[in-house]
């Protein structure tokens, strides 16, 4: 054995023969790439190692640091009992310090074992204990900080115990992106009455052979902080122990298991998430965007919430219902805290919050929505409080269950108790049903708007004659559909029509063909919308007698519709549905253009339009079923157009006009069935007034442009605007 004493410094390297070394009383041992047996550093000595291997034999550690200091980098350390010992001599209180990086330290019973008063810094260092009962890090009252690397033991990854003589402030460990693994036992064991502070930071992983990430035993106290890490497994508090668990941007899937006689408190803050049982936990705090998801019925002493969420089971397990019993419930006055719950009107099963003591604060209830109807709906009691002034309200004001939406009501029970329940007598039409009604109703109005572009084209023919030509129109309009028609919504449409026509020989007839595309948006409210893409094609004819002024127009149009809807439901989810169908429409108009003096003319007319849209069955992806009968429309119109021709010189002629008309829809029954048993009627019948204005301008003999505006208003339907502009080329 080579000894380094007071005032001495010894340097060894890869060329130095293997030996045992001991440094004491302020001596310094420097090793660079050396290969040695046991190294013992005592009483104020210093050991500096860069690389090399250090192997303890016959029950010794590879490196033992006792009331001394060590700085070890990129080394391989093995011991027949422990890889390294970092501690103190009996009767002393100073402990040792060690800074270790990039090293591998292996022992039988422990990778590193410490005693009280010691301070250890580990960076990218791997500790392992190969024995069946081995522990990667066995800390007796020490302060350990680790960044990177791993700690693995045959039994536990880390064991935290108090120093045998009570030296130090408990056993504290900070883990930053470290892998901690107990191959057959808990990842971290805190026992023997220790007071332990544990920080799990920045992607640290805890793995356990028995699925217990932290096991607190023997009247110990463990304060665990999980920050920026995700854990999977359970935490066990037993043997009259206490566990104080805080998650700060942390996540855990697993249970907190509390034995009778032990105590646990759990705090979730800063967008943390915990999924698991907290049964028998004394205090639970859910704050600042954090959430606790139950996986079974639980009982907790106190539940405090400030901007957090308690979720009664995962959304992907819809048929399970849980009861949460709370001794005392406290919430913030701003109502930012939420309970997410489920209920089945058909069976009466539901989640239930039962506060056995005082409840205070304001809370939101978010109940899972569904596209399926409730059979024989009954009251669902969601919350009971024994005392206090707590208030509960539904997020969004209602719950969507199939065709209907339901509201929350309350009643007083007992001397000071209150219950909140879903009341089936408050039902109104749900957004899903509204979207179905709007989508099946929209084609009637949009195909007439498409045909209106052709009517302006016919007016051009009477203005300029029937020369062969091409024309185009772009248009946009809006409809407000009154709720009394079936269900209210707003409809906006944009589109483009193209056509070509020619004079049929020497006759008074002009024939043509038109086609186009339009896109319609439906705004049903509450985040629910729909779209209809329409493709259309059809022939048309017009007959004009210049001498008498009489004319006749007719159109036959075929449409193909692509329909989509997105439903914003009360629980914040979205449902979707789509289908294709087709329609056919026809119109005939007869009128006379009467020429007055000074370029004025008046044009009385009558028009009859009819449409049939194919019925369809389709489903939303939330389970809602829709069955729309064939939609029909018969629309009569009578009115007068008054205009004047202005000769602007150089072959240019302008023709402004105004139009006043009355429309009447004769069909009052277009049936829609939702979820087999609920029938509605899309009814757009009644009389509407129409007011329009526009101008046609012949820029040259071969080129004309056009712009027009219409407004209409009736009992069930209003059209605030209908704008279209276009041009025609002739030859």
* 468-512 pLDDT per residue, tens: 789 899 999 999 988 655 568 899 999 999 999 888 877 888 899
Nearest CA-CA partner of 640 in 695, 598, 589: 589
| pLDDT in the model for residue 76 | 98
**How many other C-beta atoms can be found within 10 angstroms of the C-beta atom of residue 664?**
14
What is the C-alpha separation between 554 and 396, in angstroms, rounded?
A: 50
Q: Is the pLDDT higher at 129 or at 165? A: 129
For range 344-355, the mean pLDDT: 87
Alpha carbon dihedral 313, 314, 318, 324, in 10-degree steps, equals 10
For residue 442, give both structure tokens: 């929209």
| CA 656 – CA 706 distance, rounded (Å) | 10
Pairing of β 119-123 and β 28-32: unpaired
Tokens 């007959």 -> residue: 543
Q: Once rounded to an integer, what is the mean pLDDT over residues 507-518?
A: 91
* Residue 460 pLDDT level (bands cut at 50, 70, 90): low
Higher pLDDT, 329 or 457: 329
**What percentage of the chain exceeds 90 in pLDDT?**
74
Report the pLDDT value the prediction gives residue 317, as an integer from 0 to 100: 72
**70 vs 706 pLDDT, higher one:** 70
CA diameter of the chain: 131
Q: Looking at the predicted structure, is the pLDDT value of residue 262 above 60?
A: yes
pLDDT at 346 over 80: no
Reported confidence tier of residue 467, pLDDT bands at 50, 70, 90:
low
Distances (CA, A) of 444 to 178, 439, 448, 632: 65, 10, 7, 8
pLDDT at 456 over 80: no
Q: Are 637 and 609 in contact (CB under 8 A)?
A: yes
Shortest CA distance to 140 belongs to which of 112, 166, 160, 169?
160
Give the mean pLDDT of 566-589: 93
- List the beta strands (DSSP E) in 342-402: 352-360, 362-367, 380-387, 391-394, 399-401
The predicted structure's pLDDT at residue 465: 57
Q: What is the DSSP string of 300-335?
A: EEEEEEEB-EEESS-TT-TT---EEEEEEEEE-TT-
Are 728 and 500 spatial neighbours (Cβ–Cβ below 8 Å)? no
Tokens of 145: 């900080």
Enumerate the H helices of 465-580 as residue ranges.
Answer: none
Beta-bridge partner residues of 71 = 48, 99
The per-residue pLDDT for 527 is 81
Q: Which residues contact 75 (CB under 8 A, 6 or more apart)?
A: 49, 50, 51, 52, 53, 54, 103, 104
Kindly report the CA angle at 671 between 717 and 554, in degrees rounded to 5? 60
Determine the pLDDT at residue 650.
Answer: 79
Whole-model pTM over 0.85: no
How many of the other CB atoms lie within 10 Å of CB of 669?
Answer: 10
CB neighbours of residue 427 within 10 Å: 18
Torsion from C-alpha of 299, 300, 304, 309, nearest 10 degrees: -40
Supply the pLDDT for residue 487: 64
Residue 387: is its pLDDT beyond 80? yes
Checking if the pLDDT of 466 tops 70, the result is no
- The full length of the chain comes to 731
3-state secondary structure 434-476: HHHHHHHHHHHHHHHHHHHHHHHHHHHHHHHCCCCEEEEEEEE
Instruction: Answer whether residue 651 shows pLDDT above 70.
Output: yes
Mean pLDDT of 387-413: 93
Q: What is the DSSP letter of 177?
A: S
Is residue 171 within 8 Å of 198, Cβ to Cβ? no
Percent of the chain with pLDDT over 70: 97
Q: Is the pLDDT of residue 717 over 70?
A: yes
Q: Convert 128-144 into a string of H (helix), E (strand) and C (coil).
A: EECCCCCEEEEEECCEE
Phi-psi region of 94 (alpha: psi -120 to 50; beta: other; left: phi over 0): alpha
Q: Considering the chain, what is the average pLDDT of its residues?
A: 92
Report whether 124 contacts 99 (CB < 8 A).
no
Q: Is the pLDDT of residue 464 over 90?
A: no
Residues 123-147 have a mean pLDDT of: 97
> If DSSP codes are grouped into helix, strand and coil, which group holds residue 530?
strand
pLDDT value at residue 689: 96
Q: Which of 1-10, 499-508, 525-534 has the highest mean pLDDT?
A: 1-10
Is 90 exceeded by the pLDDT of residue 344?
no
**Which among 502, 520, 519 is positioned nearest to 511, based on CA atoms?**
502
The pLDDT confidence band at residue 130, using thresholds 50, 70 and 90, is: very high
Question: Residue 632: is it exposed, middle or buried by C-beta count within 10 angstroms (0-12/13-18/19+)?
Answer: middle
């Amino acid at each position: 054995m080579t000894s380094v004493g007071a005032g001495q410094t010894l340097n060894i390297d890869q060329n130095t023969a293997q030996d045992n070394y001991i440094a004491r009383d302020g001596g310094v041992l420097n090793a660079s790439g050396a290969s040695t047996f046991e190294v013992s550093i005592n009483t104020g000595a210093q050991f500096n190692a860069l690389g090399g291997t250090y192997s303890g034999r016959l029950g010794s550690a590879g490196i033992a640091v006792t009331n001394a200091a060590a700085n070890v980098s990129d080394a391989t350390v093995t011991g027949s009992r422990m890889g390294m010992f970092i501690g103190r001599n009996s009767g002393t209180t100073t402990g040792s310090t060690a800074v270790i990086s990039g090293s591998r330290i292996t022992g039988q019973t422990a990778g590193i074992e410490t005693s009280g008063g010691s301070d250890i810094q580990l960076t990218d260092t791997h500790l392992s204990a190969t024995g069946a009962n081995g522990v990667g890090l066995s800390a007796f009252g020490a302060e350990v900080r680790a960044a990177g690397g791993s700690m693995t033991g045959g039994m536990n990854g880390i064991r935290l115990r108090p120093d045998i003589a009570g030296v130090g402030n408990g056993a504290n460990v900070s883990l930053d992106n470290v892998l901690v693994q107990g191959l057959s036992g808990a990842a971290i064991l805190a026992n023997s009455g220790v007071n332990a502070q544990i920080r799990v930071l920045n992607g640290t992983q805890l793995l356990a052979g028995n699925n217990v990430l932290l096991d607190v035993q023997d009247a110990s106290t463990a304060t665990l902080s999980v920050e920026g890490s995700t854990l999977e497994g359970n935490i066990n508090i037993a043997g009259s122990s206490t566990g104080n668990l805080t998650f700060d941007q942390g996540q855990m899937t697993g249970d907190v298991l509390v034995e009778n006689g032990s105590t646990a408190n759990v705090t979730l803050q800063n967008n943390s998430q915990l999924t698991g049982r907290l049964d028998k936990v004394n205090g639970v705090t859910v704050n600042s965007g954090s959430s606790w998801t139950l996986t079974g019925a639980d009982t907790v002493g106190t539940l405090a919430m400030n901007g957090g969420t308690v979720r009664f089971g995962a959304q992907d397990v819809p048929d399970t219902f849980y009861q949460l019993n709370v001794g005392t419930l406290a919430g913030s006055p701003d109502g930012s805290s939420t309970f997410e719950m489920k209920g089945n009107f058909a069976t009466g099963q539901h989640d239930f919050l039962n506060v056995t003591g005082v409840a205070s604060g304001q809370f939101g209830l978010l109940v899972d929505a569904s596209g399926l109807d409730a059979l024989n709906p009954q009251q669902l009691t969601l919350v009971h409080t024994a005392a206090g002034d707590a208030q509960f309200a539904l997020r969004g004001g209602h719950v969507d269950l199939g065709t209907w939406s339901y509201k929350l009501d309350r009643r007083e029970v007992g001397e000071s108790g209150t219950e909140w329940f879903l009341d089936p007598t408050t039902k109104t039409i749900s957004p899903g049903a509204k979207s179905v009604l709007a989508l099946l109703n929209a084609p009637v109005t949009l195909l007439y708007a498409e045909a209106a572009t052709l009517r302006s084209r016919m007016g051009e023919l009477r203005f300029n004659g029937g020369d062969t030509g091409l024309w185009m129109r772009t248009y946009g309009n809006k409809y407000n559909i009154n709720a009394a028609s079936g269900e209210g919504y707003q409809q906006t449409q944009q589109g483009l029509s193209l056509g070509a026509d020619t004079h049929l020989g020497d006759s008074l007839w002009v024939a043509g063909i038109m086609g186009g595309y339009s896109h319609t948006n439906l705004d049903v409210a509450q985040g629910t919308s729909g779209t209809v893409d329409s493709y259309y094609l059809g022939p048309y004819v017009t007959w004009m007698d210049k001498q008498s002024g009489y004319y006749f127009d007719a159109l036959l149009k075929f449409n193909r519709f692509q329909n989509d809807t997105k439903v914003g439901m009360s629980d914040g989810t979205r449902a979707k549905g789509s289908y294709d169908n087709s329609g056919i429409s026809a119109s005939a108009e007869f009128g006379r253009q009467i020429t007055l003096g000074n370029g004025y003319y008046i044009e009385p007319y009558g028009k009859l339009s009819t449409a049939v849209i194919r019925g369809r069955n389709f489903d939303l992806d939330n389970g809602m079923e829709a069955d729309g009968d064939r939609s029909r429309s018969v629309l009569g119109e009578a009115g007068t157009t008054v205009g004047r021709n202005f000769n602007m010189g150089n072959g240019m002629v302008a023709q402004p006009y105004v139009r006043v008309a009355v429309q009447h829809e004769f069909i009052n029954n277009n049936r829609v069935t939702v979820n087999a048993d609920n029938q509605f009627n899309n009814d757009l019948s009644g009389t509407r007034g129409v007011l329009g204005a526009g101008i046609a301008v012949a820029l040259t003999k071969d080129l004309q442009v056009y712009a027009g505006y219409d407004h209409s208003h009736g009992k069930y339907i209003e059209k605030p605007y209908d704008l279209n502009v276009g041009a025609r080329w002739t030859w």
